[in-house]
Amino acid sequence: MRELRVAESAGFCFGVQRSVEMAEKLLNEHGACASLGELIHNEDVVRSLEARGMRVIADPAEAKAGEQVLIRAHGVSPERIEALEAQGAVVTDATCPKVKAIHKIVSRASGEGRNVLIIGMKQHPEVEAICGWCGEHLVVENAAELAEIWDKHTNFWEKPLRLVVQTTQTRSNFTECCDFIKKRCTNVEISDTICLATFTRQEEAARLAADCDAMVVIGGKHSANSVHLAQICEEHCDNVQFIERTDELDMSRLRHADIVGLTAGASTPAWIIKEVRNKMSDEIKIEESAVEKEMTFDEMLEETLKPIYNGDKVSGTVVAITGTEISVDLGAKQTGVIPTEEFTEGGAKLEDVVKVGDTVEAVVVRVNDVEGVATLSKKRLDAAKVWADVEAAAEDGTVLEGVVTEENKGGVVVSVKGVRVFVPASQTDLPREAAMSELLKKTVRLKITEVNKARKRVVGSIRRVAQAERRERTEAIWNEIEIGKKYHGVVKSLTSYGAFVDIGGIDGMVHVSELSWGRIHQPSDVLSVGDEVDVYVINFDKEKRKISLGYKDPEANPWKMFTDKYGVGDVASVKIVKLMPFGAFAEVLPGVDGLIHISQIANRRIGKPEDVLTVGDVVDAKVTAIDDEKHKISLSIRALGEPAPVAPVEEEEDEPADDALVYEVSESGEASGVAPEVEE
């Protein structure tokens, strides 16, 4: 063996270290105490504590009145704590804060009527304790077991569900169980409660095992996190030894391995790790000087678990999220806790703003060494940062963004990342007659005009930003405008002759003739104030700042559609829309009418069009003439019929045809006709 690699994360985790320190403190102060169950999964540590005066009790009934009893890091059910107190014992709770967070999650879920699904080892003390904090629940160890019991507990899945996981479980097992549940349950809330230290230890062990020819894992055989650690190493390395102490190490299995890795579970003390490492170092002749350069595990632990104080600015990783608080690993002896309400201000959803694994910064508000918890405030830190940003914005004129949260007599209040900014009514950019309530809950852009930090007073102006933006948009439009260019605008006002449309800071006018291809009486027949419309430029005058806009689609021009479809000689199905003395007007296409002269209605003489036709009739007619310039069409029904036989007429020399009538039709469609005079 040429090289030994030791995992940086090996050894006591925060929860175990904390419980051992609390036990030592009780022994120092009282000389003796008891532990409800073995304090940690390591016989050497337990025997060492027993030698100093700590006895292990298996049941609360064994506790003596007045005796100091320590609750181990795994935690216990509330009933067992009550039973200890009933015995008269003085209880010190060393439950790991990360485990205690699970207790709160499941307790709250049960109160909300949810069933609880726990992913973990059934006989493990941590899981047994979690079960005591919830109502109806199930414990499963893996996805395979979950699939087996699915059909056996149909009533359980019908209720809303909360899923939690033992802090020392593997990420892969948790993911597999989540995938199974998500596919079958629509009302499930999942809490990723795997301890970040455990996850980090497992990730490092996997990487180390993949690079090494052999691995040594130190830990208790009944320690869940140590067992999982060994399993992970076995997935990546064929030569893995799982030992509890130095005398179990088989060096013969390491002699042919070039690189050997060493890691340890969360309940393994630093001195045992050091013993194993030294034995391996001696065997493989690693120079002592190189070993001594490495930090001892006690030193690494002390370096990692740095102290924190009130007022400190800290940074950490989110390890758990409940309905009321966010747990943050600070790399310190205390777990940071931030109230969830600090993330949900303004109606934001918690899952949208923070997730497990996110890094957050906050200020330490209060440190509780007894419970191992530090109360943090992200809001205070953010507010301090925002105040600095606000002061800088007032100096350099930077535009800020905020949400209007309230109105008052003189204007509105805008929340800019938690800082209240007052905007006077004259600076809101609203019309004089408009109500301030129109701005409520809207996101606005503003400039800071006054800052008084001592009085916590900030004044801003929405109008300044709006005016500047309008000027920019106006200049941009005039610089880029051209005939035919399209714009999306808003109808600002209507008149008898057209509509004014705002196309981004400039109003253009759509004449009534440009509103529709059909006949309309007034612009309001087509548009209303506030409508969003697509328009195009017909003409513009930069000097006079006037723009003429079109609204009707050129491609929808009825006359063009008619000429594309019909020509002289074609037959069209037309609808009679109006009857006149000189003929009938018929709709060929919507917006296009043609005239059927009275002489072209029938193949016989008729007195008036209504003798043959009625408004609404649909008839076939032949296109006989098209005036493309004047957009006029002549139609004939008569041209489609067979000519009527000519009736025999007796010859009368001087008898005129007194029934002949000659029509003249003007461009406006009016007709006049007179019969020729007959000489007597």
Kindly report the length of the chain. Answer: 680
Burial-class residue 93 by CB neighbours within 10 Å (0-12, 13-18, 19+): middle
Separation of alpha carbons 667 and 632, rounded Å: 9
The residue type at 273: I
Burial-class residue 228 by CB neighbours within 10 Å (0-12, 13-18, 19+): buried
Separation of alpha carbons 143 and 148, rounded Å: 9
Give the list of residues 6+ apart from residue 40 with CB closer than 8 angstroms, or none: 16, 19, 20, 46, 72, 73, 220, 267
Of 126, 141, 342, 407, the active-site residue reads 126
Element at 391 (helix H, strand E)? helix 378-396
The residue type at 126: E
Element at 665 (helix H, strand E)? strand 662-665
Sign of CA dihedral 510, 516, 517, 522: negative
Strands (E), 304-440: 313-321, 325-329, 335-339, 359-368, 373-377, 399-408, 411-416, 419-424
Enumerate the β-bridge partners of residue 535.
487
The residue type at 399: V
| SS3 label, residue 32 | coil
Separation of alpha carbons 179 and 633, rounded Å: 71
The residue type at 285: K
Counts of helices then strands in the chain (DSSP H, E):
17, 34
Q: What is the DSSP letter of 530?
A: T
Separation of alpha carbons 116 and 107, rounded Å: 9
Q: Is 126 considered catalytic here?
A: yes
Element at 619 (helix H, strand E)? strand 618-627
Burial-class residue 510 by CB neighbours within 10 Å (0-12, 13-18, 19+): buried
Which residues are known catalytic residues? 126
